[in-house]
Amino acid sequence: MTRLIVATAGLAGLAAFGSLFAGTANAERAVAIPAPAHDVPATGHKATAVLAGGCFWGMEAVFEHVKGVTSVTAGYDGGTRTTADYAAVSTERTGHAEAIRIVYDPQKVSYGTLLRVFFSVAHDPTQLNRQGPDSGPSYRSAIFPQDRAQQAVASAYIAQLQRAHAFKAPIVTRVESGTFYPAEAYHQHFYDRHPTHPYIVHWDKPKVAAFKAAFPSLAT
């Protein structure tokens, strides 16, 4: 895994592996998609969403810039507690997906709006078991609803986008059940703590910029 090698390399290693990313920076653009026809009713309490769409560094970075989001945690979902660690998940045999847990204020941003950002710019929902340079089931596109209302909205939105042919290829996003386990401390807020990391520069900064350009009223 390229990201694993670069993340664990020393300074000399970063310089060497930086060439792997040369010229690969994507001019990320959001896909213009409609808002969900149905949404979870707003409450006066904080709510939680769990989403998976490739490397959790970039997913976390995008949603940390969404107004109404109070916290984002990188972690793993879809497998058991005993194997919810980076070394085990990286074997692609644990059933986990790299995921993020989003705590948000439903009075300021809805679950449906979070899903719209998820599908439009946070990742590519047409890539099966991969995102960008990362491949394997731990990088799959998945939604982990926290209740029946979220499950209904997520399933209906996928169907809505499919009917609208919002993407050039079929959506492969799965709606799954599972338990979220936080990732190791060194993975948390990686984008903010390592802004010059080659992976962040070439894969995640363009994604955050695309989010801010496409959703200026949502961006912090």
Catalytic site positions: 55
Q: Contact at 8 Å (CB) between 90 and 139?
A: no
How far apart are the C-alpha atoms of 122 and 118, rounded to whole Å?
5
Check residue 66 and report its DSSP letter: B
Among 173, 183, 4, 176, which residue's Cα sits nearest to residue 76?
Answer: 183
From the CA atom positions of the chain, what is the Rg in Å? 17
Four-CA torsion 133, 138, 140, 144, nearest 10 degrees: -140
